Amino acid sequence: MIQWKGVMPAVTTKFTDKDELDMDMFAVNINAQLDAGVSGLILGGTLGEASTLTFEERKQLVIETVKMTEGRVPVIINIAEQTTKGAIHAAAVALECGAQGLMVLPPMRYKANDHETVTYFKAIANSTDLPIMIYNNPVDYGIEVTMDMFQELAECHNIEAVKESTRDISNITRMRARFGDRFKVFTGVDTLGLESVLMGADGWVAGLVCAFPRETCAIYALAKAGRTEEALEIYRWFLPLLELDINPQLVQNIKLAEVATGIGTENVRAPRLPLIGATRAHVLEVIERGVASRPTLPDYKHLL
């Protein structure tokens, strides 16, 4: 059973200079997330460069993360497949490897219609007992999971949450008004993190948390505790960094930030390449300015 609340990082996958999984640096980052107070870990998303990972690498990530966490937080694996058969197989493998939950995207490449998308999600849900978070991101993936589609999905009891990334913050209110607490709602857009929590989101699937775990958890905890002004002060400092997440090079951006905070490396897997030129200089300037003015945080962990 997953408590769908709090900050759940969409963690980056670490690579060595030889383009192999760097589990040592990965462990450094995971421990920083756990120390900050995250409530779950999401592997194999866009930030995790899942599309470039081999089947065996995805299995290794799940198995070793489950070992690292020792049951302290749930380990959730992203499923982004082209076929229903492939997605069902991925869900079965996730369970075998010890994952406690799934985050599921609509079918990849083929732009399914509403009926096809709902049928796809239902087939996955009916194939497994693992709890599921639906990833609703029409901006990047071209398919929106509408309120009417969620009405159909409500019959699958293990579809329990949604990562709300439509950029329409009023969808949080729509979900609440129509479904009450049937679906737990997470914001999936860093630059709407605080706003979404204040509008009633249960949690935050975050990106810049990979480099700044304590600041992200502090904003969430303070906002939930009604200490809005304190949360807002940190959030205003954080916003230029959060904007690095809403960018085609978000993986490179966030990995540079991880380097700056000492909990990651810059290595990405081709076709991604490290940033160069003016783009690199700009991103480094944003990161350096943020690190130099990093705020002193109040004691927030008891609020989580």
Tens digit of pLDDT for each residue in 77-92?
999 999 999 999 999 9
User: Is residue 11 included in any domain, yes or no?
Assistant: yes
- Mean pLDDT across the chain, nearest whole number? 97
Mean pLDDT of 298-304: 96
The reported pLDDT for the residue numbered 94 is 98
| Domain span including residue 119 | 6-303
Dump pLDDT digits (tens) for 255-281: 999 999 999 999 999 999 999 999 999
The reported pLDDT for the residue numbered 245 is 95
User: Is residue 131 included in any domain, yes or no?
Assistant: yes
User: Is residue 31 included in any domain, yes or no?
Assistant: yes
Long-range Cβ pairs for the range 298-304 (8 Å, 24+): 298/218, 298/222, 298/227, 298/230, 300/37, 300/217, 300/218, 300/221, 300/222, 301/37, 301/217, 301/221, 303/221, 303/222, 303/224, 303/225, 303/227, 304/6, 304/37, 304/39, 304/217, 304/220, 304/221
- Residue 1 pLDDT > 90, yes or no? no
User: Is residue 125 included in any domain, yes or no?
Assistant: yes
Dump pLDDT digits (tens) for 85-126: 999 999 999 999 999 999 999 999 899 999 999 999 999 999
| Local confidence band at 67 (pLDDT 50, 70, 90 cut-offs) | very high
In the chain, how many domains are there?
Answer: 1
Could you tell me the CATH number of the domain that includes residue 49? 3.20.20.70
| Local confidence band at 232 (pLDDT 50, 70, 90 cut-offs) | very high
CA dist 81 and 46 (Å) reads 13
User: Is residue 1 included in any domain, yes or no?
Assistant: no
User: Is residue 73 included in any domain, yes or no?
Assistant: yes
User: Is residue 176 included in any domain, yes or no?
Assistant: yes
- Residue 203 pLDDT > 90, yes or no? yes
- Residue 11 pLDDT > 90, yes or no? yes
